[in-house]
Structure 1
Amino acid sequence: MKKYLVSFACLISMLFLPEASAQRIKDLADVAGVRSNQLIGYGLVVGLPGTGEQSPFTEQSFKTMLSNFGIKMPTNLKPKIKNVAAVAVHAELPAFSKPGQKIDVTVSSMGSAQSLRGGTLIQTILMGLDGNAYAVAQGSLIVSGLGAEGLDGSKVIANTPTVGRIANGAMVEREVLSPFTSGDHITFNLHNADFTTAKRLSDTINNLISGSARAIDAASVQVTAPRDAADRVSFLATLENLEFEPGTPSAKIIVNSRTGTIVIGADVRLLPAAITHGGITVTINEVEAVSQPNAFAAGETVATNQSIIDVNQDDSRMFVFDPGVTLDALVRAINQVGAGPGDVMAILEALDQAGALRGNLIII
């Protein structure tokens, strides 16, 4: 009899969502218009210990940089540079960043450079989606990865040596205008759209200032706010620390078919259903036997065929669910059956197809 051992730590991950508790508005919603902006630039990393690259666009970039300093190279001269690498530089410009403040930047090789370790990013302009320059980056890279190559072509690479970071490596040069101080309202946008949560959020604010808030959809709550910038900051500082109980999320089951991870929400329910697990193995063997008459009986010795049918049934079990069975009962029942991750997924999919699963089954 085949035995199954189920380890919930390795085979199935069950998420028991706790009872909804009060949370601050600032943990559940963002203020419309208060957001970061992505910046990107193209530059060169110099000073590499022979781990750079020799490519047409790197050479062109190198010549362009020299021409900016008044140095002109002959057109037929191709510089042999191995200590330079073309890189993409990107960063996030936080909301309300002012000129003169510094932000972190990430530098990534764009060509065939082996490593950026030991390199220095030279002055690189970081631009926004509108094409304007918002910051200038420069500085020495910190690279956590490393790589080594032998004469026989063997390589050892740890982490990613072609990506580095410069803490406070970019200086903000232009401020992004924010609509935070314009208009007569501020709008809270929920991280997860939910009509119940939006209604409770507006009710919480109205309990403090009657009639000031209204939910305009499942994701946004509009609040009447002071026009003066300083008053609006104080007003928002008060609102974002108010606590309320968000709505319970919809019942979901998330199945990761690649890793075998299954996450089941606490509100998942089952309709009446019966499930069996296991199988029956039928083996038929044909055995040739010899039939010989008794010593005093007439007859001849002949060969006969004898069929042996063996039915081997595994330790099959069936468990029945009553209406409204909870997640806990489902987990215990599956554990008693001794199902592996693939079997659990098959059971959940079969229950969903049978219409016995009250929850949204999502396979990723």
Structure 2
Amino acid sequence: MNSKLRASVFATILLALSSSVMAVETVRLKDIGKFAGWRENALVGYGLVTGLANTGDSPNNKATRQSIANVLAQFDVAVQPELVLSRNVAAVMVTAKLPPVARQGDSIDVTVTSIGDARSLVGGTLLTAPMKAPNGKVYALAQGALFVGGYKYDMNGNVAQKNHPTVGSIPAGAIVEVGVQAKIMSNENIMTFTLTDADFTTSSRIAAAINTAFGEPLAKALDAEGVEIRVPAADREYLVDFVTRIEKLSIEPDTRARVVVDERTGTIVSGGDVKIAKVVVSHGDLKLSIITDNSVSQPILVRNTAAEVRTETVSNSRINVSEKNESGFVSASNNTVADLIQALTRIKTSTRDIISILRAVKASGALRADLIIQ
């Protein structure tokens, strides 16, 4: 897709975004935030992957050799770590996320990554690996066959590789041994609803909507991100129903005007009905080139030549100046960013030039939005 066509497509997208946001739109509270304390917990463990086809850690990896000896010792097989020379085993780290609510026996997905010099984990099986939380307590046990979305084969200096064969996953590969229950109500019978995108106006609207729905002042906006909610005595025993009623409430969130520009790909996305003040844009395209022609001057041969008679190189330079035939003048008043881009597209302005113009409009103070350059 060429730059002119991309600019036209972006203008259409911006117009669609602006028109859709102009209409009043309400969203549920559960779609714009969550209750404090409702979060996932990170788990990590160390283990061994076996069954590799000579693609595991090399004998130079002392940690792997020691780990193999430790595993064999649990089955009454005494082997010195120095005697372990197999390349069918790899030392790995195992990571997972424990949900906010998990009961003993639940299954969670795990990711396995090599920490040694293994070439590939394809075809391997993870031995039982305890998974700990930051508090050092074991919450899950991981084990199973790995699924690796890649491969790596090499022979005689030739290598064939796809994706990252030293990273794999085990769907439902860990069993929860210790259940967890997220606590969203404090000892003072207070819950805090936190916004995904902090905004004072939205926070105030949430508090007002909760108080109106329950008919009493239960909620108070603490700041741009948090809304404190007092749980009535009658609802403390039935907290799930109380939270459900709150999550179902709908409000009209207030958003800050933003224009996001990705210079690497030439992408422009305008959030909302972004306005611009009266502005005049004059964008010229002047092309200047200097061309030099070198020619050789050969003197006429004479019978008696002198020292000053010789071949000379002569340089002839010329300057070419060209300008676009299209007009580079755009006047925008009481318009949106989408209108400006559509006007620039009509005069066949490239996407890269549109990005430069937006930066200049922002610098002039005419763009009433945050310009985010990525």
User: Normalising by structure 1, what TM-score?
Assistant: 0.84
1:263 aligns with 2:273: no
Q: Match for 1:319: what amino acid? A: F
**Contact kept in structure 2, 1:12 and 1:341, CA below 8 Å:** no
Map 1:88-127 → 2, pairs under 5 A? 88-127=93-132
Taking a change above 3 Å as real, the CA distance of residues 144 and 258 of structure 1, as seen in their structure-2 partners, is same
* CA distance 1:285–1:235, change in 2 (3 Å): closer
> How many Å apart are 1:11 and its aligned residue?
7.2
Whether 1:43 and 2:43 are equivalent positions in the alignment is no
Across the aligned residues of Structure 1 and Structure 2, the Cα RMSD in angstroms comes to 2.8
How does 1:13-162 map onto structure 2 within 5 Å?
Answer: 14-15=13-14, 16-17=17-18, 18-19=20-21, 20-54=24-58, 55-74=61-80, 77-149=82-154, 151-162=155-166
Letter in 2 for 1:267: D
Q: Which runs of 5+ in 1 are unaligned?
A: 287-306
Q: Secondary structure at the match of 1:235?
A: helix
Tell me the alpha carbon deviations over residues 283-322 of structure 1, each in whole angstroms, 9 at most, x when there is no partner.
8999xxxxxxxxxxxxxxxxxxxx9987543225233434
Identity across matched positions, percent: 37
After TM superposition, list the pairs within 5 Å mapping 1:245-260 onto structure 2.
245-247=252-254, 249-260=255-266
Q: CA deviation at 1:40?
A: 0.6
Q: Is the 8 A contact 2:38 2:100 kept in 1?
A: yes
Q: Which residue of 2 aligns with 1:299?
A: none
Which segments of 5 or more consecutive residues in structure 2 lack a partner in the other structure? Answer: 293-316
Which amino acid in 1 is paired with 2:345?
Answer: N
Question: What residue identity is the alignment partner of 1:53?
Answer: D
CA contact (8 A) 1:212 1:223 kept: yes
Specify the code of the residue in structure 1 equivalent to 2:249: L
Return the letter of the residue paired with 1:205.
I
- Determine which structure has the larger helix proportion and give its number: 2
Task: Report SS of the residue matched to 1:180.
Answer: coil
1:231 to 225, 238, 241: 238
| Paired letter, 2:339 | A
Q: Which residue of the partner structure matches residue 226 of structure 2?
A: 220
Q: Does 1:362 align with 2:367?
A: no
Alpha-carbon deviations, 1:89-116, whole Å to 9, x = none? 0000001212222211111112222221
Task: Please list, as runs of the form range in 1=range in 2, the aligned pairs for 1:306-321 lying within 5 A after superposition.
Answer: 312-321=322-331
Offset at residue 4 of structure 1 (A): 7.5
Q: Which residue identity is paired with 1:66?
A: L
Q: Residues of 2 paired with 1:246 and 1:31: CA distance?
A: 17
Are 2:338 and 1:328 equivalent residues in the alignment? yes
User: Aligned equivalents of 1:112 and 1:81: distance in 2?
Assistant: 13
* Equivalent residue letter for 1:219: E
**Distance across 2 between alignment mates of 1:346 and 1:321:** 17
Q: TM-score, normalised by structure 2?
A: 0.82
Of residues 155-164 and 45-54 in structure 1, the stretch that sits farther from structure 2 once superposed is 155-164
User: Any residues of structure 2 matched to 1:256-295 within 5 Å, and which?
Assistant: 256-281=262-287
Which segment is superposed worse, 28-37 or 219-228?
219-228
In the alignment, what sits opposite 1:292?
none
Q: 1:1-57: per-residue Cα shift (whole Å, max 9, x none)? A: xx9833347777844242241111111111111111010111100111222121222
Does the CA contact (< 8 Å) of 2:8 and 2:345 recur in 1? Answer: no
Change (3 A) 1:280 1:101: closer
